[in-house]
Structure formats: structure tokens, C-alpha cells
Structure 1
């Protein structure tokens, strides 16, 4: 990794403002270990008289549960020494305590998210350093082509990224439309957005259950895409879109 030119794009979730650490702030990433180890939720039971422990970590949900992971990005750059106090104050005002998304230049197909903090600012003459920390970042990184929102061509990685297309569906009287969602590394629950509600308002069938869709956002927690394909079938009349997030450790 080239620590002189390596940078990252920071997005303030509340405002949508984006900044590149190198191009906009003149700061390069100085460490390679900025993505910390994931914290997994484990549940062990000590049985008296038995060797070892009983592991119930996946017994309830049937899958692995991850809580969070730390992200610590060491940033540094060169500025006139009298500019640093104002600069670091501006950075703190911008990101301290805010939820951010961060896309690293060397993994531009994915973004991480969490609440940020500025830590350990130090200055030696014209050289200043500090850490952009996300102590409890989401354990998963999400595809920038994530179908819950618009994505940009510039940061998209055509070798590692995945584009989900064809998620807008119009259902007419007497026909059935289906859409298959393929599982990924991270379990997720799809959201159905109904934009046009026909007279025979659309119904959706999944895993043997039928749901009546309302105009706007529809989300059913029992429809989880985990290890097997989930087929959504739509009848009635209306226009809808299917949205979901794909993630990776």
C-alpha cells in the first residue's frame, strides 16, 4: 500500500457532504491496520461435570451474529504550523459524534459506516497527525452498488462490486410477477416500496406466506435472505421496487 497517496472518501450521513482525505484535506492515511477485528456474539454454557462448554452461539438465530468492529484511520499531512489549530477545529466540527460513511481508495467497491470521533491530535512544526476513529463501526462493509440507494460510477469497482438490477416491477390484473433474491455474506431483510397502488392492490407471497402491500415502505422481518434464495411473487395491480443491502466482512 502506498501510504503517501492512499486516502479515503468521507460522507456525512446527515447532510450527504463528501470529502476526500487527500484531495480535499491534504491528509494521507499512515497505517495499514485501520480495519479492526470484528466482535462476534458468542454464548457458551458451562455444564457441571462435562468437559468444555456447550456452544449456543448460533442456536437461536441459526447464523453468526456480529456486533461491531473498530476502525481507526491515522491521518497526517503538512500545513503551515499556524493553520493546524483552525484546521483540526473545523474537522472536529464536521465529523465529531456524527454518523459517517467511509470508502477507502484501495477498496472502492464498499463503504463502512459508524459514528466518528477525532482522537490524538498532535503537531510537530508543520506536520500534523490525528486519528479518525469509529469505535463501534458496523461489522459489515456495504456494497456501493447497494440497491437501497443511488450509487456513483466513480467509486464503483467492476472487479469486486455487484450491481442488482431489475428491481422495479409493475403488476397487472391476472398476472404474476416473480423476483428472486440471491443470498450473500450478510443476512438481510428486503424492503418493498409501492409507488402505485392499483384498485386490486398488490399482494406478495414469500416462503409460503402472503402479505398485503401498502403504498410506501413495506418491510417484513420474517422474510430474511440468509443461506437460500428467496422468491418473491406479486399479484394484483400496482408498481413497486425491491431494495436491500449487501454486505461483506
Structure 2
């Protein structure tokens, strides 16, 4: 394992033979804190979660340092000539500098980070060079697969992995109420607004009751056929959520599409 990073479509080892000086880890995000000082009173009032009911965070910022041999053999092998350091530098600059894209750590292949990356410095020495890549990415990492994607064999964790498509894809709905009680582990740590994909035989849509006790949500809506997001419906919290689905007549299916977010 080279502890590489895949930026967009290019892997730091496969494309450029970059070797990190330490295991790459994105720095944790700082929480957005808002306090109110009351004149004549002790302490302060913490308003950080007053609007949302949950903590919100700044972006993650930091840098990665890599070593690249001067004149490494191209990858894949087959070429006789070696690539000079200035060609590697130009290739990285053209592809990465100032670009917004996803990044996946080789050590954590089930999740991606998304944000902007900048080449900070390049120091060339006799036998190798050092390159520093700065990042400014969102506070959460997001699952590579969505809740309705089919699971992949290679990255699947057979100890604690969950095949979410079996729970969220093509939920059968009829005039009798279908209930889905969702454990908080299914939708992760980040607040997410799922996308509903609806199909009903009567073309009259499907009713949904969305309950999230931690956020005080208990809302009933009619989901029209097609795709829709409802801003009030938020997956978040350690108490899980429950959705109830039913048709006025006929049958239908509902898929609940979202990505799991974690810190």
C-alpha cells in the first residue's frame, strides 16, 4: 500500500509516483461557534445550534507533502525513457492546481472529500523532489456509493458493511401503510436531504409521513411521480428516523437516494 490519494481520475502513485512523507489524513473541521455575551450575567449563551438543532462546521484545510523521485519510470511500464521532474511538475500543475474535485484516500476507499486543491510548493533536489498540495474541502466525507447504488465487492466491509440498496431502493408501496424504521447508522453523521424517486400505477403519487424525533419533525406530504427533494425532510441524529408510505389506490415504488456523510 502506497497510501496514495486519487484526485478526480488520477492516482498520486499510478500517475506520478508520488510517495507521501506521512500517511495522508484530512485535518478535522473546526465547529462554527456563535456566543452571546449578556452584560451583567455570568458566562455566555451558546447559540451555535440555535438555527439548525445540530452543530455546523468550517471547511477542512491543510496540506499533503509528497516525495517524487527525479526521473522515475513511467507508469504503466513499457517506455524506455524516464520522465524528468519538470514534466511531472507541469503535469500536476495542469491537472490539479486551483481545481475543484473529489479526493479519495487509498486508506479509506469508501468515502470521498470534495473541494479545491492547490500546488503550494515544489522543491527539487538531486535525487528526489518534494511537492506540497494544499486543500480546502467540505467538512464531511461522503460515501462513494449512494443509498440506491448496487454494492461493490472489493471495497465492501464484510464486518460492518450495509447493503443500503436493499433498504432504500424500490420500496414496494400499496394502499396499506409500509413502514421503514431507519437506524441512525444508515444515514451517517451529516445532515442530508434525500431525493425521492416515485412511481405509482395510478399516477396519483404516494403519500409519505416523515418522522425524525431528534429534530422534532413529523410531516406528511404527497410525493408526485418523478424525482423530488423536500427541504424539511432531513436525515440526522442518533435517534434514527421513520418513514411511512401508502397509496390512495393501486401500487407503486419509492427509492430514497442520498449519500452517507461522516466526519
TM range, smaller chain = 0.7 to 0.9
Q: Secondary structure of the residue that 1:66 maps to in structure 2?
A: coil
CA distance in 2, matches of 1:113, 1:153: 24
Alpha-carbon deviation of 1:91? 1.7
Equivalent residue for 2:243, pick from 224, 232, 238: 232
Alpha-carbon deviation of 1:163? 3.5
| Alignment TM-score, normalising by the size of structure 2 | 0.78
Deviations 1:215-249 (A, max 9, x none): 33211121112222222222224333111222222
Answer whether contact 2:37 2:44 (CA < 8 A) is retained: yes
- After alignment, is 121-130 or 168-177 more displaced? 168-177
Q: Runs of 5+ in structure 2 lacking a partner?
A: 73-82, 212-217
Q: Secondary structure of the residue that 2:165 maps to in structure 1?
A: coil
Q: Secondary structure of the residue that 1:90 maps to in structure 2?
A: helix
**What's 2:3 paired with?**
6
**What's 2:75 paired with?**
none
Answer whether contact 2:182 2:240 (CA < 8 A) is retained: yes
**What's 1:26 paired with?**
17
Equivalent residue for 1:41, pick from 29, 32, 36: 32
- After alignment, is 78-87 or 96-105 more displaced? 78-87
User: How many residues end up aligned between the 2 structures?
Assistant: 239
Q: Runs of 5+ in structure 1 lacking a partner?
A: 13-17
| Alignment TM-score, normalising by the size of structure 1 | 0.82
1:201 equivalenced with 2:205 (yes/no): yes
Alpha-carbon deviation of 1:162? 4.2
**What's 2:193 paired with?**
189
Deviations 1:55-99 (A, max 9, x none): 111222221111211142212211329722222222222222332
- After alignment, is 146-155 or 222-231 more displaced? 146-155
CA 159–79 in structure 1, closer or farther in 2 if over 3 Å, else same: farther
When Rg is computed on C-alpha atoms for both structures, the one with the higher figure is 2
CA distance in 2, matches of 1:112, 1:154: 20
- After alignment, is 237-246 or 36-45 more displaced? 237-246
Matching of residues 31-110 of structure 1 within 5 Å: 31-32=22-23, 34-80=25-71, 83-110=84-111
Q: Secondary structure of the residue that 2:42 maps to in structure 1?
A: coil
Answer whether contact 1:143 1:161 (CA < 8 A) is retained: no
CA 92–168 in structure 1, closer or farther in 2 if over 3 Å, else same: same
